[in-house]
């Protein structure tokens, strides 16, 4: 039996739109192992190896991270007198295999959900796993194919934590172009929490203890961690490139520095260090 057609524009809204977040999220988690539920075919999940390659973990942990991000977005929107509605035009930037949009499936009409993924393999994977969403493949630098004033909400999980400053500014300017007046933009960043984590990892390694592979890679890329931390604390923005690529690494900033990134009619309306595992920076389009 087909589960989706133009006569049924969103089976998720129809079946689960009236559920509270906890009940809907339980359905999403269960779908990882039981993708057919209630006559609805849920998006599939990729092999664990691919999930690990993209974001360092897999399975329920990966899905719960997406759910936590969704809850943070919803909470900040409500605090700023915004909301997620079926008519909301949503873009997930750097969508990977498509996990971040999944909590939105029961809240936003499918015709209004888009993903943008520069990596063609990841984009193709997202399309195969989730045929309900339009995933767009494009360049690692702007522009995009989207028209001016296209979106009410743009979310980007764990992307700007890894971009150099010039590319960060370019993408923020592009977002300002494609955001509607009053639209919201949610991105994540490395801030003081991450620096404290790196300092702890450096002490552990100096004591002969093991640290995670990611912490080790970042520490190996930083010449003087204390000096870098001081520059960030004073409002600087520091990009630490990876050894393999000069255009991909780790970008570190403070709330003060994040405000300096507001371009093209964007204004920073929130900077949160508790809701999710990375610092959450929220901009609104004032144009």
Residues 276 and 103 sit within 8 Å (Cβ to Cβ): no
> What is the pLDDT at residue 8?
57
The rounded distance, in Å, linking the Cα atoms of 229 and 223 is 12
Q: Which two tokens stand for residue 226?
A: 């204390």
Q: Extract long-range pairs of 115-124: CB within 8 Å, 24+ residues apart.
A: 115/91, 116/91, 116/92, 116/144, 118/94, 122/54, 122/95, 122/96, 122/97, 123/95
Number of residues that this document lists for the chain: 287
CA distance 238 to 190: 10
Sorted by where each begins, the domain ranges of the chain are: 11-191+254-285, 192-252
pLDDT at residue 75 in the model:
97
Superfamily of domain 11-191+254-285: Vaccinia Virus protein VP39 (3.40.50.150)
**CA proximity to 195, closest of 168, 150, 161, 152:** 161
Cα separation, 103 vs 70, in Å, equals: 6
Q: With a cut of 50, which residues of the chain have pLDDT below it?
A: 1-2, 6
Question: Nearest Cα to 148, choosing from 248, 13, 50, 265?
Answer: 265
Asked if 205 and 267 count as a contact pair (C-beta separation under 8 A), the reply is: no
Per-residue tokens: 185: 């933009």
Whole-model pTM: value is 0.95
134 near 166, Cβ under 8 Å? no
Q: How far is CA 88 from CA 31, 55, 105, 151, 180, in A?
A: 24, 27, 12, 8, 11
pLDDT at 9: 67
Nearest-Å Rg of the Cα atoms of the chain is 19
pLDDT at 244: 83
Hey, is 182 helix, strand or coil? strand
Give the pLDDT score at 167. 97
Q: What are 201-245's pLDDT values in tens digits? A: 999 999 999 999 999 999 999 999 999 999 999 999 999 999 888
């Amino acid at each position: 039996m087909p589960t989706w057609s133009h006569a049924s524009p969103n089976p998720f809204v129809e079946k689960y739109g009236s559920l509270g977040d906890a009940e809907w999220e339980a359905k999403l988690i269960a779908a990882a192992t039981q993708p057919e539920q209630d006559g609805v075919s849920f998006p599939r999940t990729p092999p664990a190896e691919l999930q690990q390659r993209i974001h360092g973990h897999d399975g329920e942990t990966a899905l719960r991270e997406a759910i936590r991000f969704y809850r943070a977005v919803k909470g900040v929107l409500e605090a700023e007198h915004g909301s997620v509605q079926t008519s909301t035009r949503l873009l997930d930037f750097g969508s990977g295999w498509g996990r971040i949009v999944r909590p939105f499936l029961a809240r936003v009409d499918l015709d209004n959900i888009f993903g943008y993924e520069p990596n063609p393999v990841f984009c193709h994977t997202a399309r195969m796993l989730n045929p309900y969403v339009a995933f767009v493949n494009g360049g690692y630098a702007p522009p995009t194919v989207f028209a001016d004033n296209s979106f009410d909400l743009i979310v980007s999980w764990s992307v700007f934590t890894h971009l150099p400053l010039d590319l960060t500014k370019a993408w923020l300017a592009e977002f300002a172009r494609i955001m509607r007046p009053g639209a919201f933009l949610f991105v994540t960043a490395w801030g003081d929490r991450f620096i404290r984590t790196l300092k702890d990892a450096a002490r552990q390694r100096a004591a002969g203890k093991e640290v995670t592979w990611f912490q080790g890679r970042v520490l190996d890329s930083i010449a003087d961690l204390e000096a870098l931390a001081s520059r960030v604390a004073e409002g600087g923005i520091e990009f630490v490139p990876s050894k393999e690529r000069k255009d991909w690494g780790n970008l570190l900033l403070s709330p003060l520095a994040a405000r300096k990134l507001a371009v093209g009619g964007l204004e920073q309306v929130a900077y949160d260090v508790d809701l999710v595992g990375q610092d959450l920076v929220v901009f609104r389009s004032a144009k």
